[in-house]
Structure 1
Amino acid sequence: MHVDVRKADDVIIVDLDGQLVSGIGDELLRDVMNELLAEGWSKILINLSQVERIDSAGIGELVAGSRLATRFGTSVRLLQVTGRVRQVLELGQVLPLFHVYDNEEEALAAFADDAAAAASGE
């Protein structure tokens, strides 16, 4: 598993590449999420477009990371969940727990819309 972290405006994008499975990707994702939360980021977008495979440990880490983030007031959303990964997340009934976007522009716009709504008191 390879992870790249980049910034787009006030959103941190975590690009995952490889297998999000026990002993490989799950621990790496946990470490990255913990670091981002410790740094105080409030908007995290996890890009799954290059994830080839996910297992129960990977699913567990996505859910646990999202729950922890919520306690910190951080929003975690998913980007480009495709193919086999989408099937596994659907079977595990995980997708309804997240906002899921098909492209980065749509996701960034949604974060911005949510921030504008919060600022105006909606």
Structure 2
Amino acid sequence: MPIESRRDLRALLFPPILVIFFFGGFAVPVWFLLEAFVSANVAWLFVASAIAYYLNYELLHTAYHMPDGHWLGRLGLVRRLCWLHQAHRDPRLMASRNFNITYPLGDWLFGTLHRPRDAATPSGP
């Protein structure tokens, strides 16, 4: 489902209130705990990692919904990961497979990764 208008971005991206809740209601308390019990450097590393992950997720998720031929969709990593998002949106699989939208690491670890068969691959016995 490619982006056709600016309205589509409202459905595609996390709403600002959710971002404020995540960083204000979750990341800030965790920062204080990490700073108090581990170190300020670990706390800042947590916040930097959370922001980097959020931006990475939003960029990749947006790239998967760009129209065919868009420069963002032509990037090698985006092209390789796009199949994961397409499988994630498949109604036959979405309740049991491919829960990770951006990277398949979690699905690989938990055994929920489903790779569509390559059309060139001969069928089994």
Q: TM-score range by the shorter chain?
A: under 0.3
Comparing both structures, which one devotes a greater share of its residues to helix?
Answer: 2
TM-score (norm 1): 0.28
Comparing both structures, which one devotes a greater share of its residues to strand?
Answer: 1
TM-score (norm 2): 0.27
Structure of higher RCO (CA pairs closer than 8 Å, 6+ residues apart): 1
Q: Give the structure with higher Rg (CA).
A: 2
